[in-house]
Every structure is written in C-alpha cells, then in structure tokens.
Amino acid sequence: MDIIEIKSDSLAEKYYKVKHDSGLTIYVYPKDGYSSTYAIFGTKYGSINNTFRVDNGEVVKVPDGIAHYLEHKLFESEDGDAFSRYAKTGANANAYTSFDKTCYLFSCTDNFEESLEILLDFVQSPYFTKETVAKEQGIIGQEIKMYDDSPAWRVMFNMLMNMYKNHPVRIDIAGTVESIAEITPEYLYTCYNTYYNLNNMVLCVAGNTSVDTVLKIADKMLKKCDFHEIENIFEEEPEGVLSPFVEQKLPVGLPLFNLGFKETAPKKRVDEKTLACSEILLFLLASSTSALYRKLMDENLINVSFSYEFFEGEGFLGTIFSGESRDPEKVAEIIKEYIEDLKKSGIDKDEFEIAKRATYGDAISGLNSTDNIANIITDFDFSDRELYTYIDAIANTTLEEVEKRLCTMLDVEKTTLSVIRNVE
C-alpha cells in the first residue's frame, strides 16, 4: 500500500493519495486548526450509465433512474437505516446522484472515526428485497412528479432533451415513473456489483484528521475487491443540436431560460489546462464584472439570477447560461452576438488578466472549505485530473490559449434555448 504525498510549494499545501489493498483509492487532506471533518465516499456511476458491459462480456441495459434509486436504497438495511446510526454520532449525513457519479457523505466535529465506520459499512452492505424495492417506487415516483412541476428543473432538462439526440444526459437523473417501475432487486444487485466495486470508487476525507486515522478505519472496514474492466456504452451523438428552441408553460413570475452551447465531447474528460481556459473565459464573458453582464442588466433583460456553467462529463460537453428574463430570446440573441464580436475583435488583455486573477482566487479560496476540497478531488479523480495541477494551469494560462479556446468552445450554430413561461 503506497502513500503518495501530493504537494504544492507555491500554495504551501499538501494532501495524500493512497491505493488501498482493497482496491479503493483514498485521499486525505489534513487541515491544521480545523475543528470539523468532511468525508465523501463516491462511485463513478451516475444516471448516464444505463448501458454497459463488464470484462468484455454481454451488454447490459438497465432502466433509467436506477443509479439514483440505488442511492436511496443503500441507506436501508435489515437493522434499520444509516441515518439512525449517524444520529448517535451527531454527524450530518447526505448523498447525491449526478449524471456521472453517486456520492455518500457526512460532516462532523466529533466522533469522526465512528461516523467513518458507518459510511464504509452501509455503502458496502446492500440489502434489496421485492418488498423494499416496491415501497421505494412510490416514494421516488412522488419525487419525480415533484420535479416535473419544478420550473427550474424542467427548463434545464427541456434544454438537454433538445440539445442531445442520443446521449443519456438528456434523461432525467431520477428516470420516469414508468422506468422506475421496471426496477427489480436483480437489476439493483447487477448495478451495485458492477459499479460499487472499490476499484471504481474513491474515499476523500478533508479537515481535522490524519492519514493514519483514516487508514486505520479503512483497514478495518474495507472488503477487498477484484478489479473488473467496466465499459460504458453510448450511442453515437451527432455534432449538432436536436432542436434550437423549446418552450413550456408553468407557474412562474418572470420567464426562466437556459441557453446551452453544445460542444463535441472528447473521448476522455477535458484536461486541467482546457478546464482552466474554459473557466477563465466564462468569467470574462459572463461574470457580474463583464461588459456582457452590464449590457444585459442595463437593458433590464436579466437580474441577479443570471449564471453560467461549464457542463461536462463522459460523452457530453457544453456551456449553459441561465436566469430569469422578460425576453429570453433577446438575451440569447445578445449573448450570441457578443460571442461572435469577441471572436472577431479578440479578448482585451486587461479583461483577461482580471478574469484570470479572479478564477485563480476562487480556486485558492476553495481550499478553505473542507466540503469543496473533498468534492473537487473526488470529481478530479474520476476525470483523471489533479487539484494543484489545475490551480497551476490557471496561473500559467495565457491570453492566446483562452482566445484559442473561445474559437472551439462556443459555437453559435450549436445552441438550444429552453424557456419556461407563465401559464397565463
């Protein structure tokens, strides 16, 4: 079992990476002077992973929403649920499923070792029966219906459904009422045994802890897993969007919008330099200090809800601008015109430097948050990136690199505008 120290001389920070004998990759980021500790136990398995094969075997297709369903079910056991156990240690526990990962987490100020034992225990102890699966179908079915009525949720998924033709990122993370009705204990065990293999998982702990403390618990709780090759299978995705515009009516005050720019996804997740250039570019384009933001605000077309996101994962890549507006179509038109003008005129050097410093500052300030540290290291492990390499990439990014990124990142011919307007 090798313990690797990952150090940043420029930041005077360090953390540790361990490939445990069980197969699990473990990260420990001690923070001197911190009273709290945050732990996250994640698997590289999300809602998009609905078709796969293991060790070049037969292709398996499972119902949509099963990763989210499995997240719910893992908290249960024959003896009760994990939340009841956490209540005794005082830890604050939660979990989430995204497009490409499922994570279980807790934060605490006391009883860290006991809480970590609970985390490693229940995630490794699946318990599925026909009765408990049927019960959960009703609960998650209600959750799905609630999200179907949520304007903020619908505006995003309407956009994704019209941006992507084949990639399962277009499918709601929780699935549909119909798809979850197909879930059985057998499906759950198939997905669990495939993706909850420790070789496909990461444990990251940040805060008031040490490598020795975490490894002592890991040695006690982890069950050795044999490595298996997992191949996620996706249909080929065309370069263009399925539809440039989609509208739905729901009870809202101001109309909501998501404007998505689709980009051809590489076979591997983007590297640290590409991510750094993308984040700097988006800050320059659409932060509250940008000329575009000021123009939209001055024309009373957006409010403080306006935001942007670099959106990427296995097989999907894009940029999303979102917010509230009395005239979403006009906002989309101005954003696209601004991008085209910027491609022709080039990026102002002073504006680039401001955006670069701000992006670097955000990355550095994130090191003061234990939950941010643990979540970003987990995500970076799953995407073959490293935290300090990313921060250094921001510091060393040039204006020329960001201008080059602008040419490939935001294609105004590959956009989808999703709008939610009031029912009246």
> 71 catalytic, yes or no?
yes
Q: Which CATH architecture has domain 3-232?
A: 2-Layer Sandwich (3.30)
Please determine whether the domains at 3-232 and 245-421 fall in the same fold group of CATH: yes
Residue 304 has pLDDT above 80, yes or no: yes
Quote the DSSP letter at residue 338: H
pLDDT of residue 403: 97
Length of the chain: 424
Catalytic residue among 71, 136, 312, 324: 71
Q: 1: pLDDT confidence band, cut at 50, 70 and 90?
A: confident
What percent of the chain is predicted at pLDDT more than 70?
100
Give Cα separations from 338 to 241, 319, 342 (angstroms): 21, 15, 6
Asked whether the predicted pLDDT for residue 424 surpasses 80, the reply is no
Q: How far is CA 376 from CA 15, 206, 287, 381, in A?
A: 13, 11, 21, 8
Q: Which amino acid is at 401?
A: E
Question: What residue segments make up the domains of the chain, in order of their start?
Answer: 3-232, 245-421
Residue 65 in this model has a pLDDT that exceeds 90: yes
Kindly report, residue by residue over 244-282, the tens digit of the pLDDT. Answer: 999 999 999 999 999 999 999 998 899 999 999 999 999
Residue 417 dihedral angles phi and psi, to the nearest 5°: -105, 120
How distant is the alpha carbon of residue 262 from its chain centre?
Answer: 17
**Neighbouring residues of 281: CB distance < 8 A, sequence distance ≥ 6:** 355, 402, 405, 406, 409
pLDDT score, position 277: 98
At 2, the pLDDT band (50, 70, 90 cuts) reads: confident
Distance (Å, whole) CA 88 – CA 75: 15
Q: Please, which pLDDT band fits residue 77 given cuts at 50, 70 and 90?
A: confident
Note the pLDDT of residue 136: 85
Task: Tell me the average pLDDT of the chain.
Answer: 96
* Residues 41/234, Cβ–Cβ less than 8 Å: no
**Span 78-115, pLDDT tens digits:** 777 899 999 999 999 999 999 999 999 999 999 999 99
For the stretch 136-146, pLDDT in tens is: 888 899 999 99
Secondary structure string (H, E, C) spanning 74-138:
HCEECCEEHHHHHHHHCCEEEEEECCCCEEEEEEECCCHHHHHHHHHHHHCCCCCCHHHHHHHHH
Nearest to 44 by CA among 266, 197, 233, 272: 197
What average pLDDT does range 215-241 have in this prediction? Answer: 96
* Interval 133-160 mean pLDDT: 92
Binned at pLDDT 50, 70 and 90, residue 132 comes out as: confident
What is the predicted pLDDT for the residue at 267?
87
- CB-CB contact of 399 with 142 (8 Å): no
Confirm if 305 and 324 have CB atoms less than 8 A apart: yes
Residue 168, Cα to own-chain centre: how many angstroms? 15
Q: What is the pTM of this model?
A: 0.96
pLDDT tens for each residue of 322-340? 999 999 999 999 999 999 9
- The gap from C-alpha 415 to its chain's centroid, in whole angstroms, comes to 21
Concatenating the DSSP letter of every residue in 174-241 gives: T--HHHHTT--HHHHHHHHHHH--GGGEEEEEEES--HHHHHHHHHHH--------EEE------SS-
- pLDDT value at position 56? 95
In sign, the C-alpha dihedral spanning 40, 43, 44, 46 is: negative
> In the chain, what percentage of residues exceed pLDDT 90?
93
- pLDDT tens, 11-45? 999 999 999 999 999 999 999 999 999 999 999 99
What DSSP string runs through 19-60?
A: E-TTS-EEEEEE-TT---EEEEEEES--TT--EEEETT---E
Per DSSP, 325 falls in state -
Q: Are strands 76-77 and 80-81 parallel, antiparallel or unpaired?
A: antiparallel
H or E segment and range at residue 345 = helix 328-345
Q: pLDDT per residue over 162-198, tens digit each?
A: 999 999 999 999 999 999 999 999 999 999 999 999 9
Cβ contact 206:16 at 8 Å: no
Give me the pLDDT at residue 76, please: 87
Instruction: Domain 245-421: give its CATH architecture.
Output: 2-Layer Sandwich (3.30)
pLDDT score of 158 more than 90:
yes
Cβ(43)–Cβ(101) below 8 Å: yes
